[in-house]
Amino acid sequence: MTTDSRSLEEILSRPPLTRGEIVELLSLPDPAPLFQKADQVRKKFVGDAVYLRGLIEFSNYCKNDCLYCGIRRSNANAVRYRMTPEEIYRTARQAVQNGYKTVVLQSGEDWWFDADKIASIIRQIKELGAAVTLSLGEKTREEYACYRKAGADRYLLRIETTDKALYETLDPQMSWDNRVRCLEDLKELGYEVGSGSLVGLPGQTAESLAEDLLFFKSLPVDMAGIGPFIPHPDTPLAQEKAEGHFELALKMMAIMRLILPDINIPATTAMETLHPQGRLLALQCGANVIMPNVTAETFCRNYALYPGKAHSAPSAAAAWNESLAAIGRTVSDGYGFHGDYLKSRN
Ligand code: 5AD
């Protein structure tokens, strides 16, 4: 199994991986050795603890019209909601009381929440002692600076795909260059930056997936989430299939662990949608983070980016101990910033 002279064992054991080797790993008929290696690397560089981030999906209004996304502007079937700042704060407070060390605020690109509103929510949540991660989409550098000044620690913005032409077809009226500008601004402003891609998009190639991984390395990211694409019935991509996307996403994630050994990698919710044990499997193929949804059901059932999205009632972080213990893992009581584990061992 070689492209040039390296055997699979060598490829897995001796980074850096070439673009060709990444493509080869993505098409491995039996990915078990890749998954095993990613699990070993995960254990060595980030340990056995799993970091839980409580996800609050506070608004599904979105000005964008991404062809794959269920909350796209043109989806007239989406039932729109917007939590009040007070509701967001109360949800965050409950999550912190339940043991969560990080609160993730996510929404569509909703203009109602201007920088002042977001900054005031961040300041309130920071007073609870939680780390704050934002996932609000593309903003100006000034807005990112304002959130940062208010205390935001991390920002998640997936590149979705590094294939610029594909990106601009699937995300009409959006600019790939602007998305990269956002990621660069976030880095310069001192955020921990999370990015990631969708896997299984129509027209996406193994070469472009390899490019995504090299892009994450070049930034470099502090975190990256790999999500299998799941067609939503109320979108122009309704007729697409999700077959094979779960395994391909797991492979992408495992290769990412080899390339960026100490970053945070979430076991994504979309993986759980495609496989009943999706997140636990992902945690055994390189992942070390879970983002349980702590949003009230009445709201998050309408945050339908794709069908069948797992939504759980707000639950105590400790409730995860049991299922994680079964795979030899624990819930961390730390914040889980990038590199914390290695520092704690020096
Ligand atoms: N399937 C899977 N993931 C999706 N996202 C949006 N639509 C879908 C879909 N149909 C992901 C995007 C976005 C994240 C919040 O949700 O990658 O960045």
Instruction: Please state the atom number of ligand 1 nearest to the C-alpha of residue 230.
Output: 1
Considering the domain boundaries, does residue 95 fall inside one? yes
pLDDT of residue 2: 46
217, pLDDT greater than 50: yes
Give residues with Cβ within 8 angstroms of 182, minimum separation 6: 138, 139, 144, 157
Considering the domain boundaries, does residue 344 fall inside one? no
142's tokens: 């000034």
In the chain, % of residues over pLDDT 90: 93
d(CA 119, CA 156): 17
Segment 13-41 mean pLDDT: 96
Give residues with Cβ within 8 angstroms of 86, minimum separation 6: none
Considering the domain boundaries, does residue 51 fall inside one? yes
Is the shortest distance between the CB of 305 and ligand 1 below 6 Å? yes
Is the shortest distance between the CB of 198 and ligand 1 below 6 Å? yes
Considering the domain boundaries, does residue 345 fall inside one? no
Does an H or E element contain 103, and which? strand 102-107
Rounded (5°) CA angle 171-211-266: 75
Instruction: Tell me the CATH number at 73.
Output: 3.20.20.70
Measured in Å, residue 227 CA sits from the centre of ligand 1 at 7
- Under the banding of pLDDT at 50, 70 and 90, the label for residue 248 is very high
Segment 271-296 mean pLDDT: 96
d(CA 266, CA 288): 6
309, pLDDT greater than 90: no
Give residue 67's domain range. Answer: 5-332
- Residue nearest (by alpha carbon) to ligand 1 atom 7: 69
Segment 142-149 mean pLDDT: 98
Give residues with Cβ within 8 angstroms of 92, minimum separation 6: 54, 56, 103, 124, 125, 128, 130
Segment 244-251 mean pLDDT: 98
Is the shortest distance between the CB of 230 and ligand 1 below 6 Å? yes
The pLDDT tens digits of the residues spanning 83-141 come to 999 999 999 999 999 999 999 999 999 999 999 999 999 999 999 999 999 999 999 99
Measured in Å, residue 35 CA sits from the centre of ligand 1 at 24
Torsions phi, psi for 227 (to 5 deg)? -115, 130
The pLDDT tens digits of the residues spanning 261-270 come to 999 999 999 9
Considering the domain boundaries, does residue 67 fall inside one? yes
* Residues 246/282, Cβ–Cβ less than 8 Å: no
The pLDDT tens digits of the residues spanning 58-97 come to 999 999 999 999 999 999 999 999 999 999 999 999 999 9
Considering the domain boundaries, does residue 293 fall inside one? yes
Is the shortest distance between the CB of 160 and ligand 1 below 6 Å? yes
pTM beyond cutoff 0.75 = yes
310 against 13, higher pLDDT: 13
- Under the banding of pLDDT at 50, 70 and 90, the label for residue 303 is very high
135 by DSSP, 3-state: which? strand
Measured in Å, residue 279 CA sits from the centre of ligand 1 at 16
d(CA 29, CA 25): 9
Is the shortest distance between the CB of 271 and ligand 1 below 6 Å? no
In the chain, % of residues over pLDDT 70: 97
- Under the banding of pLDDT at 50, 70 and 90, the label for residue 5 is low
Segment 149-172 mean pLDDT: 98
DSSP 18: P
Segment 245-260 mean pLDDT: 98
Segment 165-172 mean pLDDT: 98
What is the count of structural domains for the chain?
1
Considering the domain boundaries, does residue 244 fall inside one? yes
Considering the domain boundaries, does residue 346 fall inside one? no
Instruction: Please state the atom number of ligand 1 nearest to the C-alpha of residue 231.
Output: 10
**What rounded mean pLDDT belongs to the chain?**
96
DSSP 193-232: EEEEEEES-TT--HHHHHHHHHHHHHTT-SEEEEEE----
3, pLDDT greater than 60: no
